[in-house]
Structure 1
Amino acid sequence: MGNCTGLAVEELQACESHQWYRECMTECPSGLLSFYKLKLFFGLRKLSDTSNAYVKTMFTTFDMNDDGSIDFMEYVAALSLVLKGVQQKLRWYFKLYDVDRSGCIDREELLQIIKSIRAINGIPSEISSEDFANMVFDKIDTNGDVELSYEEFMEGVQNDSLLLTTLTESLDLTHIVQKIQGEMRTNI
């Protein structure tokens, strides 16, 4: 059961789920991943306050039942983000950017997350974080209230290929999934 190559899609998904479960239970025998363990697992040490706040926001977003830990189902949901379609990813991005959970994204929330993502991923950019945040608001804040509603965000990002590409690439979790899968292969 340790090898998931050469299987049908349904079998592959079941095999990967089994491996994800084994990895989750190896890392967290209690079945729960705390914020501290998450940071250790992904090697996120000595983060700036801003980057730490971003990771905390991401953790909180994945902690769907707000119990302070990520269980196996939340873990699988987080990992499967890279496999889902654009709308599901954008929905998750909106929730991540809405740091205060007000139902809208303000310029400061967007700027905070952009800076944090760039700090963690080391993404070089030709445009500053501030200029990018301003560009997002200029393009998709259709009612000019200096907040992005869920509808404005979803419609605006989907209708602007530059924003869609930039947001999707900046929050691509593929490298994290590849790290987990690589560690699963060595543990099998």
Structure 2
Amino acid sequence: MGNASAASVEEITACEIHQWYKKFMTECPSGQLTLYEFKQFFGLKDLSPNANAYVEQMFETFDMNKDGYIDFMEYVAALSLVLKAKVEKKLKWYFKLYDMDGNGCIDRGELLNIIKAIRAINGCKHETTAEEFTSMVFEKIDSNSNGELSMEEFLDEVQKDELLLGILTQSLDLYHIVGVIQSNSQPESQQEES
């Protein structure tokens, strides 16, 4: 974990940490969250293969020391990233999440699978299909037209396009997780606006 976790922890309040700790230890008394418990914790059941792969990838990105568990500090760092991090830091995390094979690039198939999975989990209706959305992303940000997005392309081009940045951020809106953590209370920040 190291410095990234410490920096993230500083951005949240003691009250939030206490609330998150209480929920974490109630749901996971061992102090180590497995992938199975992670899915149970957030009520993710009967997932499609794409959605399941996405959840597994999310778990792996949160498991910063790659020990197969999410401990409390990794959990706090993940929540802090999702809820409080600056845009560039979130985009780097999104990139890591989208790059399912870990080769340093996102191809159309990876992005399409992630978008389908996110939509399956969130259960929202969208104006465009996952395929149309994927094509739009590549048309807008694949600056060298090689069919793959490097982290540099992704960070630079998404930040230049406010519409795309808004869509990507909204598609990965995980504020419903805050509701789970706050013991099924209504999330403070955002409600579904679509």
- TM norm structure 1: 0.89
- Deviation, 1:159, is 0.7
In 2, the alpha carbon distance for the partners of 1:47 and 1:31 equals: 25
Which residue is equivalent to 2:161? 160
1:123 aligns with 2:124: yes
Which residue is equivalent to 2:39? 39
1:91 aligns with 2:96: no
SS state at 2:70 partner = coil
- In 2 relative to 1, CA 14–113 (structure 1 residues): closer, same or farther, beyond 3 Å? same
- When the two chains are superposed, the root-mean-square deviation of aligned CA atoms in Å is 1.7
Deviations along 1:54-105, whole A, 9 cap, x unmatched? Answer: 1111111101111111011110111112111111111110010000111110
Question: Considering only CA atoms, is the larger Rg found in Structure 1 or Structure 2?
Answer: 1
Q: Is the 8 A contact 1:105 1:148 kept in 2?
A: yes
In 2, the alpha carbon distance for the partners of 1:143 and 1:44 equals: 38
In 2, the alpha carbon distance for the partners of 1:174 and 1:85 equals: 15
Identify unmatched segments of 5+ residues in structure 2. 1-9, 186-194
Q: Is the 8 A contact 1:24 1:72 kept in 2?
A: yes
State the percentage of identical aligned residues.
63
Q: For residue 67 of structure 1, what is the amino acid of its counterpart? A: D
Which structure 2 residues correspond to residues 25-36 of structure 1 after superposition, within 5 A? 25-36=25-36
- Deviation, 1:37, is 0.4
Q: Is the 8 A contact 1:82 1:172 kept in 2?
A: no
Instruction: Count residues in correspondence.
Output: 175
Deviations along 1:26-53, whole A, 9 cap, x unmatched? Answer: 1111110000001111111111111111
In 2, the alpha carbon distance for the partners of 1:129 and 1:35 equals: 26
Which residue is equivalent to 2:58? 58
1:180 aligns with 2:175: no
In 2, the alpha carbon distance for the partners of 1:129 and 1:16 equals: 35
- In 2 relative to 1, CA 123–183 (structure 1 residues): closer, same or farther, beyond 3 Å? closer
- Deviation, 1:183, is 4.6
In 1, the alpha carbon distance for the partners of 2:184 and 2:170 equals: 23
In 2, the alpha carbon distance for the partners of 1:79 and 1:181 equals: 12
- TM norm structure 2: 0.86
Identify unmatched segments of 5+ residues in structure 1. 1-9
Which residue is equivalent to 1:20? 20
Q: Following superposition, which runs of at least 4 residues in structure 1 exceed 2 angstroms of deviation?
A: none
**Relative contact order, CA 8 A, sep 6+: which one is greater?**
2
In 2, the alpha carbon distance for the partners of 1:49 and 1:17 equals: 33
- Deviation, 1:133, is 0.5
In 1, the alpha carbon distance for the partners of 2:130 and 2:183 equals: 32
Which residue is equivalent to 1:144? 145
Q: Is the 8 A contact 1:51 1:120 kept in 2?
A: yes
In 1, the alpha carbon distance for the partners of 2:143 and 2:16 equals: 42
- Deviation, 1:179, is 2.1
Q: For residue 46 of structure 1, what is the amino acid of its counterpart? A: D
